[in-house]
Amino acid sequence: MSLADQRRDYRSPGLSEEEAGADPLALWWRWYADAEVMYEPNAMVLSTTGLDGGPRVRTVLLKGLTEQGFVFFTNYASDKAAEIARDPRCGLLFGWFDLHRQVRISGRAEKVSREDSQAYFATRPRGSQLGAWASIEAGGQSRPVADRGSLDAALTAVEERFADQEVPCPDQWGGFCVVPESVEFWQGATGRLHDRLLFTRAGDGWQRQRLAP
């Protein structure tokens, strides 16, 4: 079968303005509750502008949604962090394809407080905490390494360093909050006549409008 022949007809109750309401974050939470049956429902594609001016995308995990926005954590010496430092404008995409849904977000990323980063780091499994340090020991996230053996050696070194103590949050590790300026909800519908509702920030509230599919 050719790629051009790959088709699925989406069947859903649709998304009305009444169902959507006036608060996109409240609607996001309702959709997330439906998506929790899926694998990694908090996975989101993060888009930034590369240092060369080109687009850069990768998948990260959402670890919090506050009144301010969508929170994820990373190494502040990573490529994505350097790109955000240069241009904080970024995009997020939640693809809940089993439900024929996606949510697209545009906004600006801001660092969360050191206290919030440390508090979240303390909740991570010990293996993940050690992995963060091993990445630094091996040269830093996104940096070239000689081979897998180099990573394994770095992990061994940090396991020995923190053998009898709690693993502290590295200085160069922490969170970003993507403060949304627009949020679009897409619900697949029969005949590709999809429902698209766009929320755009307007002062302290949101303006909602329907988009053509």
Decide if 154 contacts 146 (C-beta within 8 A): no
98 is written with which tokens? Answer: 């089993």
Question: Is 210 a catalytic site residue?
Answer: no
SS3 159: helix
How many whole angstroms from its chain centre is CA 50? 17
Pairwise CA distance, residues 4 & 35, whole Å: 28
3-state helix, strand, coil in the chain (%, to 5): 30, 35, 35
| Catalytic position from the list 192, 201, 208, 210 | 192
- Distance, in Å, from the CA atom of 65 to the CA atom of 89, rounded to the nearest integer, reads 18
Residue listed under structure tokens 């998304």: 15
List, by residue number, the catalytic residues: 192
